[in-house]
A and B are shown apart, each in its own frame.
Chain A
Protein backbone atom coordinates (compact mmCIF):
# COMPACT_ATOMS: atom_id res chain seq x y z
CA UNK A 1 0.00 0.00 0.00
CA UNK A 2 1.23 3.47 -0.88
CA UNK A 3 0.17 6.52 1.13
CA UNK A 4 0.61 10.11 -0.03
CA UNK A 5 0.32 12.88 2.53
CA UNK A 6 -0.44 16.40 1.31
CA UNK A 7 1.41 19.01 3.35
CA UNK A 8 1.76 22.76 3.28
CA UNK A 9 4.03 25.38 4.72
CA UNK A 10 2.34 28.10 6.74
CA UNK A 11 3.48 31.04 8.86
CA UNK A 12 4.75 29.78 12.20
CA UNK A 13 1.97 30.34 14.73
CA UNK A 14 4.53 30.71 17.52
CA UNK A 15 5.93 33.82 15.89
CA UNK A 16 4.54 36.98 17.40
CA UNK A 17 1.71 38.60 15.50
CA UNK A 18 1.21 42.31 15.22
CA UNK A 19 -1.27 44.59 13.54
CA UNK A 20 0.22 46.89 10.93
CA UNK A 21 -1.10 50.37 11.83
CA UNK A 22 -1.08 51.48 8.18
CA UNK A 23 -3.11 48.63 6.75
CA UNK A 24 -4.88 47.48 9.91
CA UNK A 25 -3.93 43.94 8.96
CA UNK A 26 -2.30 41.25 11.04
CA UNK A 27 1.29 40.54 10.21
CA UNK A 28 3.43 37.68 11.31
CA UNK A 29 7.18 37.26 11.25
CA UNK A 30 8.76 35.70 8.17
CA UNK A 31 9.29 32.21 9.65
CA UNK A 32 7.31 29.50 7.94
CA UNK A 33 6.93 25.92 8.96
CA UNK A 34 4.96 22.73 8.35
CA UNK A 35 1.23 23.28 8.94
CA UNK A 36 0.65 21.78 12.42
CA UNK A 37 -2.60 20.14 11.25
CA UNK A 38 -0.62 18.20 8.65
CA UNK A 39 1.47 16.50 11.34
CA UNK A 40 -1.69 14.59 12.33
CA UNK A 41 -1.98 13.29 8.76
CA UNK A 42 1.63 12.09 8.76
CA UNK A 43 1.12 10.46 12.14
CA UNK A 44 -2.03 8.74 10.82
CA UNK A 45 0.03 7.35 7.94
CA UNK A 46 2.70 6.12 10.38
CA UNK A 47 0.08 4.39 12.50
CA UNK A 48 -1.29 2.59 9.44
CA UNK A 49 2.26 1.45 8.67
CA UNK A 50 2.89 0.31 12.23
CA UNK A 51 -0.48 -1.48 12.45
CA UNK A 52 -0.95 -5.14 11.55
CA UNK A 53 -3.72 -4.84 8.99
CA UNK A 54 -1.89 -3.76 5.84
CA UNK A 55 1.66 -3.51 4.55
CA UNK A 56 2.67 0.04 3.75
CA UNK A 57 5.40 0.13 1.12
CA UNK A 58 5.88 3.84 1.03
CA UNK A 59 4.76 7.13 2.59
CA UNK A 60 5.28 10.11 0.28
CA UNK A 61 4.92 13.75 1.37
CA UNK A 62 3.63 16.03 -1.39
CA UNK A 63 3.52 19.81 -1.41
CA UNK A 64 2.95 22.68 -3.80
CA UNK A 65 4.63 25.97 -3.06
CA UNK A 66 7.65 28.21 -3.55
CA UNK A 67 11.27 27.19 -2.88
CA UNK A 68 10.87 27.71 0.88
CA UNK A 69 8.26 24.92 1.00
CA UNK A 70 11.15 22.45 1.01
CA UNK A 71 11.40 23.06 4.77
CA UNK A 72 7.90 21.70 5.28
CA UNK A 73 8.88 18.60 3.29
CA UNK A 74 12.01 18.07 5.41
CA UNK A 75 9.86 18.27 8.51
CA UNK A 76 7.37 15.80 7.01
CA UNK A 77 10.19 13.38 6.22
CA UNK A 78 11.63 13.75 9.72
CA UNK A 79 8.21 12.72 11.04
CA UNK A 80 8.22 9.52 9.01
CA UNK A 81 7.68 10.05 5.27
CA UNK A 82 10.10 8.06 3.09
CA UNK A 83 10.48 10.65 0.39
CA UNK A 84 8.85 13.81 -0.87
CA UNK A 85 7.63 15.55 -4.00
CA UNK A 86 7.78 19.31 -4.40
CA UNK A 87 5.60 20.88 -7.08
CA UNK A 88 6.96 24.33 -7.75
CA UNK A 89 6.45 26.55 -10.75
CA UNK A 90 6.06 30.29 -11.30
CA UNK A 91 2.89 29.53 -13.25
CA UNK A 92 1.22 28.30 -10.04
CA UNK A 93 1.44 31.62 -8.18
CA UNK A 94 -1.99 33.02 -7.33
CA UNK A 95 -3.84 29.72 -7.76
CA UNK A 96 -7.20 29.58 -5.99
CA UNK A 97 -8.52 26.54 -4.14
CA UNK A 98 -9.91 24.86 -7.24
CA UNK A 99 -6.71 25.40 -9.26
CA UNK A 100 -4.51 24.26 -6.36
CA UNK A 101 -6.58 21.11 -5.94
CA UNK A 102 -6.32 20.37 -9.65
CA UNK A 103 -2.54 20.82 -9.62
CA UNK A 104 -2.09 18.59 -6.57
CA UNK A 105 -4.34 15.96 -8.15
CA UNK A 106 -2.07 15.88 -11.21
CA UNK A 107 0.96 15.20 -8.99
CA UNK A 108 -0.95 12.48 -7.14
CA UNK A 109 -2.09 10.87 -10.40
CA UNK A 110 1.56 10.22 -11.20
CA UNK A 111 2.12 8.64 -7.80
CA UNK A 112 -1.13 6.62 -7.93
CA UNK A 113 -1.48 6.16 -4.16
CA UNK A 114 -3.93 3.83 -2.42
CA UNK A 115 -4.62 6.44 0.23
CA UNK A 116 -4.23 10.23 0.26
CA UNK A 117 -4.16 11.86 3.69
CA UNK A 118 -4.21 15.53 4.60
CA UNK A 119 -4.79 17.76 7.61
CA UNK A 120 -8.21 19.20 8.35
CA UNK A 121 -7.23 22.77 7.58
CA UNK A 122 -4.26 25.05 7.34
CA UNK A 123 -3.30 27.71 9.81
CA UNK A 124 -3.00 30.51 7.28
CA UNK A 125 -6.66 30.93 6.39
CA UNK A 126 -7.22 28.26 3.74
CA UNK A 127 -9.12 25.86 3.90
CA UNK A 128 -11.12 22.74 4.76
CA UNK A 129 -11.93 22.19 1.16
CA UNK A 130 -8.80 21.09 -0.68
CA UNK A 131 -9.32 17.37 0.03
CA UNK A 132 -12.73 17.36 -1.62
CA UNK A 133 -11.37 19.20 -4.68
CA UNK A 134 -8.48 16.74 -5.05
CA UNK A 135 -10.83 13.76 -4.60
CA UNK A 136 -13.17 14.94 -7.34
CA UNK A 137 -10.29 15.27 -9.81
CA UNK A 138 -8.89 11.86 -8.84
CA UNK A 139 -12.41 10.38 -8.91
CA UNK A 140 -11.90 8.89 -5.47
CA UNK A 141 -14.28 8.77 -2.51
CA UNK A 142 -13.45 11.26 0.20
CA UNK A 143 -14.26 12.28 3.74
CA UNK A 144 -13.03 15.21 5.86
CA UNK A 145 -12.57 15.77 9.60
CA UNK A 146 -12.00 12.07 10.28
CA UNK A 147 -11.11 11.41 13.92
CA UNK A 148 -10.85 7.62 13.83
CA UNK A 149 -9.68 5.51 10.90
CA UNK A 150 -9.40 1.73 10.82
CA UNK A 151 -7.76 0.26 7.75
CA UNK A 152 -8.48 -3.21 6.48
CA UNK A 153 -7.62 -4.66 3.12
CA UNK A 154 -9.09 -2.39 0.48
CA UNK A 155 -11.31 -0.55 2.91
CA UNK A 156 -11.44 2.16 5.57
CA UNK A 157 -13.85 2.52 8.45
CA UNK A 158 -13.93 6.18 9.46
CA UNK A 159 -15.60 8.15 12.20
CA UNK A 160 -16.18 11.85 12.16
CA UNK A 161 -18.40 14.46 13.68
CA UNK A 162 -20.90 16.03 11.27
CA UNK A 163 -24.00 18.19 11.73
CA UNK A 164 -26.02 15.73 13.79
CA UNK A 165 -23.41 13.92 15.86
CA UNK A 166 -20.87 11.23 15.04
CA UNK A 167 -21.07 9.38 11.73
CA UNK A 168 -19.39 6.07 10.90
CA UNK A 169 -18.63 5.70 7.20
CA UNK A 170 -17.08 2.83 5.26
CA UNK A 171 -14.98 3.80 2.27
CA UNK A 172 -13.38 1.73 -0.45
CA UNK A 173 -9.77 2.45 -1.34
CA UNK A 174 -8.24 4.34 -3.04
CA UNK A 175 -9.60 7.32 -1.11
CA UNK A 176 -8.80 10.86 0.01
CA UNK A 177 -9.14 11.43 3.76
CA UNK A 178 -8.63 14.64 5.67
CA UNK A 179 -8.02 13.94 9.34
CA UNK A 180 -9.13 16.00 12.32
CA UNK A 181 -6.64 16.96 15.00
CA UNK A 182 -8.28 14.63 17.53
CA UNK A 183 -7.23 11.55 15.52
CA UNK A 184 -3.86 11.23 17.21
CA UNK A 185 -1.04 12.94 19.10
CA UNK A 186 1.78 13.40 16.57
CA UNK A 187 5.15 12.09 17.74
CA UNK A 188 8.20 14.31 17.96
CA UNK A 189 10.89 13.60 15.40
CA UNK A 190 14.13 12.09 16.71
CA UNK A 191 17.31 14.09 16.33
CA UNK A 192 18.56 11.41 13.96
CA UNK A 193 15.45 11.76 11.81
CA UNK A 194 15.82 15.55 11.71
CA UNK A 195 19.47 15.26 10.69
CA UNK A 196 18.68 12.60 8.08
CA UNK A 197 15.69 14.36 6.54
CA UNK A 198 17.69 16.31 3.99
CA UNK A 199 19.25 13.11 2.66
CA UNK A 200 15.93 11.45 1.81
CA UNK A 201 14.90 11.65 -1.86
CA UNK A 202 13.16 14.89 -2.81
CA UNK A 203 11.67 15.05 -6.26
CA UNK A 204 11.26 18.62 -7.56
CA UNK A 205 8.68 18.83 -10.34
CA UNK A 206 7.38 21.65 -12.54
CA UNK A 207 3.93 21.77 -14.08
CA UNK A 208 5.07 20.23 -17.39
CA UNK A 209 6.46 17.17 -15.60
CA UNK A 210 3.05 16.12 -14.31
CA UNK A 211 0.87 17.31 -17.20
CA UNK A 212 -0.62 20.39 -15.57
CA UNK A 213 -2.13 22.76 -18.13
CA UNK A 214 -0.56 26.20 -17.58
CA UNK A 215 -3.82 28.02 -18.30
CA UNK A 216 -5.68 25.98 -15.66
CA UNK A 217 -3.56 27.25 -12.76
CA UNK A 218 -2.19 30.51 -11.38
CA UNK A 219 -4.15 33.71 -11.61
CA UNK A 220 -5.22 32.96 -15.18
CA UNK A 221 -6.62 29.55 -14.26
CA UNK A 222 -8.33 30.65 -11.07
CA UNK A 223 -12.07 31.19 -11.18
CA UNK A 224 -12.15 33.56 -8.23
CA UNK A 225 -10.76 37.07 -8.31
CA UNK A 226 -9.92 38.19 -4.77
CA UNK A 227 -9.18 41.69 -3.81
CA UNK A 228 -10.53 44.95 -2.40
CA UNK A 229 -9.31 44.30 1.09
CA UNK A 230 -10.99 46.37 3.73
CA UNK A 231 -10.87 46.43 7.52
CA UNK A 232 -13.76 44.80 9.39
CA UNK A 233 -16.00 46.74 11.73
CA UNK A 234 -13.72 47.20 14.71
CA UNK A 235 -14.71 46.01 18.11
CA UNK A 236 -13.12 48.06 20.89
CA UNK A 237 -10.08 46.22 22.21
CA UNK A 238 -10.74 44.42 25.48
CA UNK A 239 -8.91 44.84 28.74
CA UNK A 240 -5.94 42.49 29.28
CA UNK A 241 -4.59 41.41 32.68
CA UNK A 242 -1.23 39.65 32.95
CA UNK A 243 -1.52 37.34 35.94
CA UNK A 244 1.37 38.05 38.28
CA UNK A 245 -0.34 37.98 41.66
CA UNK A 246 -3.29 35.61 41.33
CA UNK A 247 -5.18 37.03 44.34
CA UNK A 248 -5.00 40.47 42.77
CA UNK A 249 -6.00 39.10 39.35
CA UNK A 250 -9.04 37.37 40.85
CA UNK A 251 -10.05 40.58 42.64
CA UNK A 252 -9.95 42.42 39.33
CA UNK A 253 -12.02 39.74 37.59
CA UNK A 254 -14.61 39.83 40.40
CA UNK A 255 -14.83 43.65 40.19
CA UNK A 256 -15.20 43.44 36.41
CA UNK A 257 -17.97 40.82 36.61
CA UNK A 258 -19.71 42.68 39.44
CA UNK A 259 -19.72 45.94 37.47
CA UNK A 260 -21.60 44.13 34.71
CA UNK A 261 -24.06 42.62 37.21
CA UNK A 262 -22.96 39.09 36.41
CA UNK A 263 -22.64 38.03 40.04
CA UNK A 264 -26.22 38.85 41.03
Chain B
Protein backbone atom coordinates (compact mmCIF):
# COMPACT_ATOMS: atom_id res chain seq x y z
CA UNK B 1 0.00 0.00 0.00
CA UNK B 2 1.23 3.48 -0.75
CA UNK B 3 -0.88 5.66 1.47
CA UNK B 4 -0.30 9.17 2.76
CA UNK B 5 -0.30 10.10 6.44
CA UNK B 6 -1.02 13.70 7.38
CA UNK B 7 -0.71 15.49 10.71
CA UNK B 8 -3.64 17.65 11.79
CA UNK B 9 -2.90 20.36 14.35
CA UNK B 10 -5.76 21.45 16.59
CA UNK B 11 -6.15 24.02 19.34
CA UNK B 12 -9.14 24.87 21.50
CA UNK B 13 -11.49 22.58 19.58
CA UNK B 14 -10.66 23.64 16.04
CA UNK B 15 -8.16 22.62 13.37
CA UNK B 16 -5.42 24.83 12.04
CA UNK B 17 -6.27 26.14 8.57
CA UNK B 18 -2.99 24.87 7.11
CA UNK B 19 -3.65 21.43 8.54
CA UNK B 20 -7.01 21.30 6.78
CA UNK B 21 -5.22 22.33 3.58
CA UNK B 22 -2.75 19.50 4.16
CA UNK B 23 -5.51 16.99 4.85
CA UNK B 24 -7.37 18.04 1.67
CA UNK B 25 -4.20 17.84 -0.42
CA UNK B 26 -3.27 14.42 0.97
CA UNK B 27 -6.76 13.09 0.18
CA UNK B 28 -6.64 14.46 -3.36
CA UNK B 29 -3.18 12.98 -4.02
CA UNK B 30 -4.13 9.63 -2.48
CA UNK B 31 -7.06 9.50 -4.91
CA UNK B 32 -4.69 9.98 -7.82
CA UNK B 33 -2.35 7.30 -6.43
CA UNK B 34 -5.23 4.87 -5.93
CA UNK B 35 -4.44 4.79 -2.21
CA UNK B 36 -5.88 6.18 1.01
CA UNK B 37 -4.99 9.21 3.08
CA UNK B 38 -5.08 8.95 6.86
CA UNK B 39 -4.61 11.56 9.57
CA UNK B 40 -2.95 11.68 12.99
CA UNK B 41 -4.24 13.77 15.88
CA UNK B 42 -2.82 13.89 19.40
CA UNK B 43 -4.09 14.96 22.80
CA UNK B 44 -7.55 16.08 23.76
CA UNK B 45 -9.60 15.52 20.60
CA UNK B 46 -13.29 14.58 20.84
CA UNK B 47 -14.73 11.76 18.70
CA UNK B 48 -16.62 14.36 16.73
CA UNK B 49 -13.61 16.60 16.11
CA UNK B 50 -11.47 13.61 15.09
CA UNK B 51 -14.09 12.27 12.66
CA UNK B 52 -14.49 15.75 11.14
CA UNK B 53 -11.21 15.24 9.24
CA UNK B 54 -13.07 12.69 7.11
CA UNK B 55 -15.09 15.58 5.72
CA UNK B 56 -11.89 16.75 4.02
CA UNK B 57 -11.18 13.36 2.48
CA UNK B 58 -9.16 11.16 4.85
CA UNK B 59 -10.67 7.72 5.46
CA UNK B 60 -9.18 7.06 8.87
CA UNK B 61 -7.98 9.12 11.82
CA UNK B 62 -5.41 7.76 14.28
CA UNK B 63 -5.84 9.40 17.67
CA UNK B 64 -3.13 9.27 20.35
CA UNK B 65 -4.95 10.68 23.39
CA UNK B 66 -2.15 10.53 25.94
CA UNK B 67 0.39 12.38 23.82
CA UNK B 68 1.12 15.99 24.82
CA UNK B 69 -0.01 18.78 22.49
CA UNK B 70 2.13 21.52 21.00
CA UNK B 71 5.47 19.69 20.97
CA UNK B 72 7.01 18.01 17.92
CA UNK B 73 9.00 15.03 19.17
CA UNK B 74 6.11 13.07 20.73
CA UNK B 75 4.26 13.40 17.38
CA UNK B 76 7.34 12.01 15.59
CA UNK B 77 7.02 8.91 17.77
CA UNK B 78 3.34 8.59 16.87
CA UNK B 79 3.72 9.13 13.14
CA UNK B 80 6.77 6.86 12.80
CA UNK B 81 4.84 4.02 14.47
CA UNK B 82 1.68 4.57 12.43
CA UNK B 83 3.67 4.68 9.18
CA UNK B 84 5.64 1.55 10.06
CA UNK B 85 2.55 -0.37 11.19
CA UNK B 86 0.40 0.62 8.22
CA UNK B 87 2.94 0.99 5.41
CA UNK B 88 2.30 4.64 4.52
CA UNK B 89 4.79 5.70 1.89
CA UNK B 90 4.41 9.45 2.40
CA UNK B 91 3.82 11.96 5.17
CA UNK B 92 2.43 15.38 4.38
CA UNK B 93 2.25 18.59 6.41
CA UNK B 94 0.36 21.79 5.68
CA UNK B 95 3.28 23.87 6.95
CA UNK B 96 3.76 25.86 10.12
CA UNK B 97 6.42 25.63 12.79
CA UNK B 98 5.33 22.33 14.34
CA UNK B 99 4.96 20.79 10.90
CA UNK B 100 8.56 21.63 10.08
CA UNK B 101 9.82 20.21 13.36
CA UNK B 102 7.79 17.00 13.18
CA UNK B 103 8.64 16.41 9.51
CA UNK B 104 12.37 16.86 10.09
CA UNK B 105 12.40 14.52 13.08
CA UNK B 106 10.36 11.97 11.12
CA UNK B 107 12.80 12.15 8.18
CA UNK B 108 15.66 11.33 10.56
CA UNK B 109 13.73 8.54 12.27
CA UNK B 110 12.57 6.83 9.06
CA UNK B 111 15.61 7.72 6.95
CA UNK B 112 13.18 9.32 4.52
CA UNK B 113 13.55 12.16 2.05
CA UNK B 114 12.12 15.51 3.13
CA UNK B 115 11.23 18.61 1.13
CA UNK B 116 10.10 21.88 2.69
CA UNK B 117 8.36 24.99 1.34
CA UNK B 118 6.56 22.86 -1.24
CA UNK B 119 4.13 24.78 -3.45
CA UNK B 120 2.86 21.91 -5.59
CA UNK B 121 2.75 18.11 -5.49
CA UNK B 122 2.30 16.01 -8.63
CA UNK B 123 1.63 12.32 -9.16
CA UNK B 124 4.08 10.97 -11.75
CA UNK B 125 4.21 7.24 -12.59
CA UNK B 126 2.47 6.34 -9.35
CA UNK B 127 4.87 8.38 -7.18
CA UNK B 128 4.70 11.79 -5.57
CA UNK B 129 6.98 14.57 -6.78
CA UNK B 130 7.21 17.86 -4.92
CA UNK B 131 7.91 21.26 -6.44
CA UNK B 132 9.74 23.77 -4.32
CA UNK B 133 10.78 27.32 -5.21
CA UNK B 134 14.45 27.98 -4.36
CA UNK B 135 16.96 30.85 -4.51
CA UNK B 136 14.50 33.52 -3.45
CA UNK B 137 11.77 32.02 -5.65
CA UNK B 138 13.86 32.52 -8.81
CA UNK B 139 13.76 28.85 -9.73
CA UNK B 140 11.63 25.80 -9.00
CA UNK B 141 13.23 22.49 -8.10
CA UNK B 142 11.52 19.08 -8.24
CA UNK B 143 12.08 16.49 -5.51
CA UNK B 144 11.67 12.78 -6.09
CA UNK B 145 11.95 10.20 -3.33
CA UNK B 146 14.02 7.03 -3.39
CA UNK B 147 11.62 5.39 -0.96
CA UNK B 148 9.53 7.14 1.67
CA UNK B 149 8.93 10.85 1.19
CA UNK B 150 7.98 13.64 3.58
CA UNK B 151 6.45 16.79 2.17
CA UNK B 152 6.03 20.10 4.02
CA UNK B 153 3.83 22.62 2.25
CA UNK B 154 4.50 26.31 2.11
CA UNK B 155 1.95 28.36 4.01
CA UNK B 156 -1.34 28.55 2.06
CA UNK B 157 0.01 26.35 -0.75
CA UNK B 158 -2.61 23.65 -0.21
CA UNK B 159 -6.24 24.60 -0.63
CA UNK B 160 -8.81 23.39 1.86
CA UNK B 161 -11.51 21.32 0.12
CA UNK B 162 -15.20 22.09 0.55
CA UNK B 163 -16.19 19.81 3.45
CA UNK B 164 -18.57 16.89 2.90
CA UNK B 165 -20.33 14.96 5.65
CA UNK B 166 -18.35 11.78 4.98
CA UNK B 167 -16.70 11.54 8.42
CA UNK B 168 -13.95 9.02 9.13
CA UNK B 169 -13.25 5.99 11.26
CA UNK B 170 -11.37 6.98 14.43
CA UNK B 171 -8.84 4.52 15.82
CA UNK B 172 -7.28 5.11 19.22
CA UNK B 173 -3.65 4.09 19.40
CA UNK B 174 -1.30 3.48 22.33
CA UNK B 175 2.18 4.86 21.95
CA UNK B 176 5.25 4.42 24.08
CA UNK B 177 7.12 7.68 23.72
CA UNK B 178 10.88 7.73 23.20
CA UNK B 179 12.71 8.68 26.41
CA UNK B 180 13.96 11.97 24.90
CA UNK B 181 10.47 12.91 23.69
CA UNK B 182 9.35 13.29 27.29
CA UNK B 183 12.15 15.67 28.27
CA UNK B 184 10.39 18.78 27.02
CA UNK B 185 7.35 20.05 28.93
CA UNK B 186 4.91 22.73 27.86
CA UNK B 187 4.68 25.27 30.68
CA UNK B 188 2.42 27.74 28.95
CA UNK B 189 0.94 27.57 25.46
CA UNK B 190 -0.52 30.16 23.11
CA UNK B 191 0.19 33.35 25.01
CA UNK B 192 -0.92 36.37 22.93
CA UNK B 193 1.42 39.27 23.58
CA UNK B 194 0.22 42.82 23.14
CA UNK B 195 -3.28 44.03 22.39
CA UNK B 196 -5.64 42.22 20.04
CA UNK B 197 -5.88 44.16 16.79
CA UNK B 198 -7.95 43.03 13.81
CA UNK B 199 -5.95 43.50 10.63
CA UNK B 200 -7.55 40.80 8.51
CA UNK B 201 -10.48 42.96 7.43
CA UNK B 202 -8.39 45.98 6.42
CA UNK B 203 -8.31 47.05 2.75
CA UNK B 204 -5.06 48.88 3.26
CA UNK B 205 -2.16 47.72 5.41
CA UNK B 206 0.99 49.63 6.24
CA UNK B 207 3.50 47.07 7.50
CA UNK B 208 6.71 47.74 9.40
CA UNK B 209 9.86 45.67 9.86
CA UNK B 210 13.30 45.89 11.38
CA UNK B 211 14.20 48.70 9.00
CA UNK B 212 12.09 51.04 11.14
CA UNK B 213 15.13 51.02 13.41
CA UNK B 214 13.30 51.28 16.73
CA UNK B 215 9.84 50.59 18.23
CA UNK B 216 8.92 54.28 17.86
CA UNK B 217 9.34 53.87 14.10
CA UNK B 218 5.86 52.36 14.10
CA UNK B 219 4.46 55.83 14.81
CA UNK B 220 5.33 56.70 11.21
CA UNK B 221 3.42 53.65 9.98
CA UNK B 222 0.44 54.46 12.21
CA UNK B 223 0.25 58.03 10.92
CA UNK B 224 0.32 56.87 7.30
CA UNK B 225 -2.21 54.10 7.96
CA UNK B 226 -4.53 56.65 9.59
CA UNK B 227 -4.25 58.93 6.58
CA UNK B 228 -4.90 56.05 4.15
CA UNK B 229 -7.76 54.65 6.21
CA UNK B 230 -5.93 51.40 6.87
CA UNK B 231 -4.32 49.41 9.68
CA UNK B 232 -0.76 48.60 10.71
CA UNK B 233 0.87 45.18 10.39
CA UNK B 234 4.30 43.84 11.40
CA UNK B 235 6.92 41.18 10.66
CA UNK B 236 7.83 38.36 13.03
CA UNK B 237 11.22 39.89 13.76
CA UNK B 238 9.74 43.06 15.25
CA UNK B 239 6.94 41.21 17.05
CA UNK B 240 9.48 38.86 18.65
CA UNK B 241 11.52 41.93 19.61
CA UNK B 242 8.44 43.31 21.38
CA UNK B 243 8.04 46.38 19.13
CA UNK B 244 4.48 45.62 18.05
CA UNK B 245 1.59 43.31 19.10
CA UNK B 246 1.57 39.66 18.07
CA UNK B 247 -1.95 40.05 16.65
CA UNK B 248 -0.57 42.21 13.81
CA UNK B 249 2.02 39.71 12.59
CA UNK B 250 1.96 38.68 8.93
CA UNK B 251 3.72 35.61 7.57
CA UNK B 252 4.63 31.98 8.14
CA UNK B 253 3.60 31.82 11.79
CA UNK B 254 1.31 34.85 11.67
CA UNK B 255 -1.69 35.90 9.65
CA UNK B 256 -2.30 35.78 5.93
CA UNK B 257 -3.82 38.85 4.31
CA UNK B 258 -4.67 40.01 0.81
CA UNK B 259 -5.59 43.71 1.06
CA UNK B 260 -5.97 46.10 -1.89
CA UNK B 261 -2.74 47.80 -0.83
CA UNK B 262 0.15 46.39 1.18
CA UNK B 263 2.74 49.08 1.86
CA UNK B 264 5.87 47.57 3.40
CA UNK B 265 8.23 49.93 5.19
CA UNK B 266 11.66 48.73 6.23
CA UNK B 267 10.85 45.11 5.37
CA UNK B 268 13.37 43.04 3.44
CA UNK B 269 10.68 40.62 2.29
CA UNK B 270 12.07 37.22 3.25
CA UNK B 271 9.99 34.21 2.18
CA UNK B 272 8.63 33.68 5.69
CA UNK B 273 7.00 37.10 5.54
CA UNK B 274 6.16 37.08 1.83
CA UNK B 275 3.89 34.05 2.10
CA UNK B 276 1.58 36.04 4.36
CA UNK B 277 0.77 38.86 1.95
CA UNK B 278 1.85 37.87 -1.56
CA UNK B 279 -1.71 37.74 -2.87
CA UNK B 280 -2.26 41.44 -2.04
CA UNK B 281 -3.56 43.41 -5.05
CA UNK B 282 -0.88 46.09 -4.90
CA UNK B 283 2.46 45.81 -3.11
CA UNK B 284 4.49 48.94 -2.43
CA UNK B 285 7.90 48.65 -0.74
CA UNK B 286 10.08 51.31 0.84
CA UNK B 287 13.55 50.14 1.79
CA UNK B 288 17.00 51.71 1.81
CA UNK B 289 18.67 48.51 0.61
CA UNK B 290 18.27 48.20 -3.16
CA UNK B 291 19.16 44.49 -2.83
CA UNK B 292 16.17 43.73 -0.57
CA UNK B 293 14.27 40.70 -1.93
CA UNK B 294 10.98 42.59 -1.61
CA UNK B 295 11.87 44.70 -4.66
CA UNK B 296 11.80 41.52 -6.73
CA UNK B 297 8.05 41.16 -6.26
CA UNK B 298 6.73 44.61 -5.35
CA UNK B 299 4.62 46.53 -7.86
CA UNK B 300 6.17 49.82 -6.80
CA UNK B 301 9.53 49.93 -5.04
CA UNK B 302 11.11 52.99 -3.49
CA UNK B 303 14.78 52.83 -2.62
CA UNK B 304 15.24 55.42 0.07
CA UNK B 305 15.11 56.45 3.73
CA UNK B 306 11.67 55.73 5.20
CA UNK B 307 12.22 58.34 7.91
CA UNK B 308 12.24 61.00 5.20
CA UNK B 309 9.61 59.49 2.92
CA UNK B 310 6.87 58.31 5.31
CA UNK B 311 6.13 61.69 7.01
CA UNK B 312 5.96 63.51 3.67
CA UNK B 313 3.87 60.76 2.14
CA UNK B 314 1.46 60.95 5.09
CA UNK B 315 1.05 64.72 4.61
CA UNK B 316 0.57 64.30 0.85
CA UNK B 317 -2.08 61.60 1.34
CA UNK B 318 -3.94 63.85 3.80
CA UNK B 319 -3.75 66.80 1.36
CA UNK B 320 -4.95 64.64 -1.54
CA UNK B 321 -7.86 63.16 0.37
CA UNK B 322 -8.78 66.63 1.67
Q: Which residues of A contact B (CB under 8 A)?
A: 13-14, 16-17, 19, 23-26, 96-98, 101-102, 125, 127-137, 139-145, 147, 157, 160-172, 175, 180-182, 222-232, 235, 238-243, 246-247, 249-251, 253-254, 256-258, 260, 262-263
Contact = CB atoms under 8 A, between A and B. Distances in A.
Q: Which 8 A-B pairs have the closest CB atoms?
A: A243-B304, A182-B240, A223-B113, A129-B104, A224-B113, A132-B104, A136-B108, A164-B190
> By DSSP majority rule, is chain A's interface helix, strand, loop, or mixed?
mixed
> What is the interface residue range for chain B against chain A?
35 or more
- Of the listed residues A143, A160, A162, A166, the one surrounded by the most CB atoms of chain B closer than 10 A to its CB is A162
A249 B76 contact: no
Interface string B70-105: 111100100000000000000000001110111111
Nearest to B283: A238
Contact of A26 (B11, B114, B136): B136
Interface in B263-317: 282-284, 290-291, 295, 297-305, 308-309, 312-313, 316-317
A134 B240 CA distance: 25
Contact of A226 (B97, B100, B143, B298): B143
Contacts of B116: 127-129
Given A250-B313, A254-B316, A167 B191 contact: yes
Nearest to A97: B114
A230 B132 CA distance: 10
Interface stretch (B25-33, B144-152, B165-173): B144-152
A113 to B, nearest CB: 15
Nearest to B101: A132
B138 A232 contact: yes
Given A132-B108, A136-B108, A168-B188, A161 B240 contact: yes
A262 B225 CA distance: 12
A257 B116 CA distance: 36
Nearest to B100: A128
B240 A147 contact: yes
Given A129-B103, A135-B105, A262 B11 contact: no
A96 B143 CA distance: 11
Contacts of B295: 238, 240
18 contacts: A98-B112, A129-B107, A132-B104, A142-B73, A142-B105, A144-B100, A161-B240, A164-B11, A168-B191, A224-B114, A224-B145, A225-B113, A225-B144, A228-B141, A238-B299, A238-B301, A241-B300, A263-B320
A260 B237 CA distance: 31
Interface in B179-221: 179-181, 183-193, 204
